[in-house]
Chains A and B, each alone.
Chain A
């Protein structure tokens, strides 16, 4: 059989594996969704035992037969043991800090199980992409594993079906179960790289901008990645041997309006990217901003993490054009 056809068959088999659709968490692994199959070494082992058993039967060599059967019994017991390591494991939740599309999303899988059985070294993997194995260890009755998910598009992220597997105790069989969390993980739109500065907008906005970049220095703070070059206080930095950035007085109640219409002429997704970029920029400059996206009530004016999340969320959930 060609590997392609095999792959096809494999995919078809996977479609039958439980769960077949994303499911709400928490999900408990019961025996109906735990699969156990021998590993390649397990097959080799069983073949070995079959040969031994046949030989022993042929020669009516009872010690040899007994040995083969004992090993086979231990092997079978290890199958059960492998299954039991997953049995009653409960995937409680999966959560993640939203990130911009394109950067991997680090999702944290929370599992729980009754203590009393060793559940260590469980592997978490997903079918797409070759990742290093993610190891899930339970100490006591709970454990966590960080799963990195690739993000490509803004919007709700479909978590792929995750496989939690173990080959313990003897490496003869792999027991695995799928979990397909239907969890709200949001991916924000990727901000436009090297985008233009904030729009001048209306008169007051220009004024406030002028003011904010004026000489009214409130205090200095350490330089952070992403700060504009022109915000660096060179003289002060030279004195302190450390890059310092001018922190300006709060914009004086004058907000910048991030308007969908201001991005006219760009392709649809680029407009969203531009707005996302402006949101980041406005946050960095600690300006109050207002988002006017089509089909949505205006957000703001406000600033701060909560407002930022609300705006980015609104952008992320814009219909795909």
Chain B
């Protein structure tokens, strides 16, 4: 039982760990358990096993110390622990440490599956603890797993729930972490600060949510939903990268148009500092920083779900007077790559003279006319742009944007690659936009005199449906995961997926995205805009006190009398006790009535009748079976409940005699 609970704790963590490590840990757990089933392994052997396990895990994770490795080590330790679990104490400490596993899992993943497993594991641990306590008390009593046990644990959880919830919502949160957040060593597919043409395929196939956006006020048309992420400047012939120096620069000057959009982005954790925003952000929200090319960086890695309130507007003039160094940067190309592209660009430049816009237009026209969109592309060679522009003439956004920027730079037009997401799927249930990882996109920006940077999307010129999400088959579930289900009509799946994502959104909204900032606004619905820390603490203390009272009351409630008749009778007795006429424990109902009759004759008739009926039911009633008898019992209980002894025997109050 102990081992089963520990295994249940370990399971979700294993699911999150890299496959090889997970298998190793699972095997260790099984091995350790079987080896030490009968008698404990010798201490030296245990030590050796544990040390080798640590080394193995470290080697497997490539000696990169991060959250993954830490979690893997924890898993390994838990797996090795059964080797020394022989006494009650050991069993308990194993369970205690096992509780860390779901916790570690949540650091890696906050998905619904992990949550469900974590909860299940915790309940299992509590049930086991209960069993251990029973064993300790010398009363094995009920079997290991029974409804009684589950009910007991459920009851404890239920009783503790209000306090837990009060603490969750009201316990003062940290606005900034006390210590650094270690990054996951294994990055998840997501936007990165580099791009190699041809290597984005996994991202394109990943249908999981990347962001959810809620607009306040006007919503931009889908064709304008360019979620701008990292801007890539540097090209080495193979790979586009985002230069490091960018992060320290102040944002370039932008004259935006008046109309703008007000929205809130909820970003799934990526463990990077890269943020996205609509073209173009007016000011960076708190906790983030805009770079010169308007890429947005958060101050710390997005390890958990975060929300950002932003205002954007389409630019009128964006960096119209560009610095010379930046301009140089946006023109540089590696030597000895893509000779055909460079030749073509030179030819176009000669024909167009000074007119940059004409060259851009000519390139776009060419691409629209002769190119096609496909996800299946051959492996790139040395001259990626040449191969794409002159040989294959088909590819996806990476090829288009990369080749386009090379072409522009060769023609002497400053250009850069912008990555991010485009479009989104509107969830009618929650009225928000869902952007998935598969919506990742790359486009280009060219700098034109007098206008500054202008967004140019060569992919959209070829395959607008890829960008604008106009097709029904871009709805959730149409591709990716559910394509495997085949013959289920999409008309059925979409609402279901819409609903599940809406639920997820709700959970995010309610639980995952809750932080210090939102906590301060918790009373906003009641008209209190912002709570001071002291008020926060006071509110927490109040709620905690109430929760504790509730706990005590719930626990105490259990000892109330089961028999409703007896309960009503006792309550009657308490009512009399308030007048100092309570029934003494040693008194029978008859004695009591006789005593009352002596002290307060006015109360006697009613009480006598009631007590008579009570005694009748209680001692002479026997089995209550018939419908009529039941009704009679109910009537008596009601009468008992309703009876109130008069406070004093003032003769003036006797009915019929009025003053």
Q: Considering only CB atoms, which chain B residue lies closest to A70 in the complex?
A: B164
Instruction: Report how far A68 CA is from B102 CA in the complex, Å.
Output: 10
Nearest CB of chain A from residue B129's CB, rounded to whole Å: 5
* Secondary structure class of chain B's binding surface, majority of residues: helix
The segment out of B274-282, B488-496, B528-536, B552-560 that lies at the interface is: B552-560
* Contact A58-B164, Cβ < 8 Å, known A63-B110, A80-B552, A116-B562: no
Q: Which residue of B lies closest to A165 (CB)?
A: B137
Residue in chain A with minimal CB distance to B563: A116
Q: Is the CB of B96 within 8 A of A45?
A: yes
Return chain B residues, CB-CB under 8 Å to A114: 559, 561
Within 8 A of B (CB), among A7-62: 41, 44-45, 48, 52, 54-62
Q: Is A98 an interface residue (CB 8 A)?
A: no
List, in ascending order, chain A residues with CB within 8 A of B119's CB.
Answer: 67
In the complex with contacts A62-B304, A76-B551, A84-B138 CB distance below 8 A: no
Q: Which of B137, B139, B165, B513 is the most central at the interface, judged by chain A CB atoms within 10 Å of its CB?
A: B137
Q: How far is the CA of A10 from the CA of B96 in the complex (A)?
A: 28
Q: Is the CB of B160 within 8 A of A72?
A: yes
Contact A69 B164 (CB under 8 A): yes
Q: Which residue on chain B has the smallest CB distance to residue A44?
A: B96
Contact B107 A62, beta carbon cutoff 8 Å:
no
In the bound complex, residues from chain A placing their C-beta under 8 Å from that of B165 are: 69
Count of A-B residue pairs with CB < 8 Å: 177
Within 8 A of B (CB), among A107-123: 114, 116-117, 120-123
Chain B hits for A72, CB < 8 A? 160, 163-164, 167
A122–B304 Cα gap in the complex (Å)?
A: 46
Query: In whole angstroms, what is the CA distance A63 to B303 when docked?
Result: 13
Taking the complex as formed, is A151 at the interface, i.e. its CB lies under 8 A from any CB of chain B? no
Contact indicator B93/A44 (Cβ below 8 Å): yes
Closest to B133 in A: A171
The answer to the question of A168 belonging to the interface, with a C-beta cut-off of 8 Å to chain B, is yes
The answer to whether B139 touches A48, judged by C-beta atoms less than 8 angstroms apart, is: no
> B89 to chain A: which residues have CB within 8 Å?
41
Does A206 belong to the interface (CB within 8 Å)? no
Q: Does B92 contact A (CB under 8 A)?
A: yes
Output the nearest chain A residue to B115 by Cβ-Cβ distance: A63
* Interface residue B6 (Cβ < 8 Å from any Cβ of A): no
Interface string of A57-95 (1 = CB under 8 A from B): 111111111111111111111101100100110000000
Contact A63 B118 (CB under 8 A): yes
B347 to nearest A CB, angstroms? 56
Q: How many residues of A contact B (CB 8 A)?
A: 52
Question: Min CB distance, B69 to chain A, in Å?
Answer: 16
Q: Is A67 a contact partner of B173 (Cβ separation < 8 A)?
A: no
**Residue from the list B96, B160, B171 in contact with A76, Cβ < 8 A:** B160
A70 near B137: Cβ-Cβ < 8 Å: no
Chain B nearest Cβ from A209, distance in angstroms: 54
For A167, the chain B residues whose CB sits under 8 A away are: 133, 136-137
In the complex, B602 has a CB within 8 A of chain A: no
Answer whether A74 and B126 are a contact pair too, CB < 8 Å, given A66-B168, A84-B556. yes
Asked if A222 is an interface residue, CB under 8 A from chain B, the answer is no
Is the Cβ of B133 less than 8 Å from the Cβ of A77? Answer: no
- Cβ of A170 within 8 Å of any chain B Cβ, yes or no, is yes
Binds A, one of B175-183, B195-203, B257-265: B175-183
Closest to B163 in A: A73
Q: Are A67 and B106 in contact (CB under 8 A)?
A: yes
Contact across chains for A67 and B559 when beta carbons are under 8 A apart:
no
Q: Are B161 and A70 in contact (CB under 8 A)?
A: yes
Residues of B within 8 A of A122 (CB): 137
The interface residues of chain A lying within 8 Å CB-to-CB of B387 are none
Asked if B304 and A59 make an inter-chain contact with CB atoms under 8 angstroms apart, the answer reads yes
**A73 and B160 contact, CB distance less than 8 A:** yes
A171 and B127 alpha carbons, distance in the complex (Å): 11
Cβ contact of B558, chosen from A55, A68, A84, cutoff 8 A? A84
Q: Is B236 an interface residue (CB 8 A)?
A: no
Which residues from B are CB-within-8-Å of A45? 96
The answer, among A65, A87, A121, for a CB contact under 8 Å with B138, is: A121
User: Whole-angstrom distance from the CB of A176 to the nearest CB of chain B?
Assistant: 13
Cβ-defined contact, A171 with B118, below 8 A: no
Residue of A whose beta carbon sits closest to that of B154: A74
* A172 interface contact, C-beta 8 A: yes
Given contacts A67-B118, A73-B157, A171-B129, contact A59 B303 (CB under 8 A): yes
Q: Flag whether A137 is at the interface (Cβ < 8 A).
A: yes
Given known pairs A59-B107, A59-B181, A60-B173, the reply for A121 and B100 (CB within 8 Å) is no
Of residues A56, A63, A81, A172, which shows the largest number of chain B Cβ atoms within 10 Å of its Cβ? A63
Q: In the complex, which residues of chain A have a beta carbon less than 8 angstroms from the beta carbon of B164?
A: 66, 69-70, 72-73
Q: Are B156 and A61 in contact, CB atoms less than 8 angstroms apart?
A: no
Interface status of A262 (Cβ within 8 A of chain B): no
A41 and B96 contacting across the interface, CB-CB below 8 Å: yes
Residue numbers in A under 8 Å from B99 (CB-CB): 48, 52, 71
Partner of B511, one of A56, A62, A70: A62
A133 adjacent to chain B (CB < 8 Å): yes
Q: Does B604 contact A (CB under 8 A)?
A: no
Min CB gap B574→A, angstroms = 15
Interface centre among B103, B110, B168 (most CB of A within 10 A): B103
Cβ-neighbour of B100 out of A52, A61, A63 (below 8 A): A52
Q: Is the CB of A170 within 8 A of B156?
A: yes
For B161, give its contact among A73, A84, A88, A170 (CB under 8 Å). A73
Per-residue 0/1 for A203-225: is the Cβ within 8 Å of any B Cβ (1 yes, 0 no)? Answer: 00000000000000000000000
Judge if A160 is at the interface, Cβ distance under 8 Å: no
The yes or no answer to B36 lying at the interface (CB within 8 A) is no
Contacts A67-B118, A116-B562 known; A169 to B110 CB distance under 8 Å?
A: no
A63 touches B133 (CB 8 A): no
Q: Which residues of chain A are near B548, meaning CB under 8 Å?
A: 76
Cβ-based interface call for B56 (8 A):
no
Bound CA span A81–B164, Å: 17
Question: A interface vs B, CB < 8 Å?
Answer: 41, 44-45, 48, 52, 54-78, 80-81, 84, 87-88, 114, 116-117, 120-123, 133, 135, 137, 166-172
Chain B residues within 8 Å of A, Cβ to Cβ? 89, 92-93, 96-97, 99-100, 102-103, 106-107, 110, 114-115, 118-119, 122, 126, 129-130, 132-134, 136-139, 141, 152-153, 155-157, 159-165, 167-168, 171, 173-174, 177-179, 181, 303-304, 511-516, 548, 551-552, 555-556, 558-562
A-B contacts, 8 of them at CB < 8 A, read: A52-B99, A58-B177, A61-B110, A63-B512, A70-B160, A135-B139, A170-B156, A171-B133
Given contacts A60-B177, A170-B130, 17 further A-B contacts (CB under 8 A): A41-B93, A60-B515, A61-B303, A61-B304, A64-B103, A73-B164, A74-B153, A74-B156, A74-B157, A76-B160, A80-B159, A84-B559, A87-B559, A116-B561, A117-B559, A167-B137, A168-B137
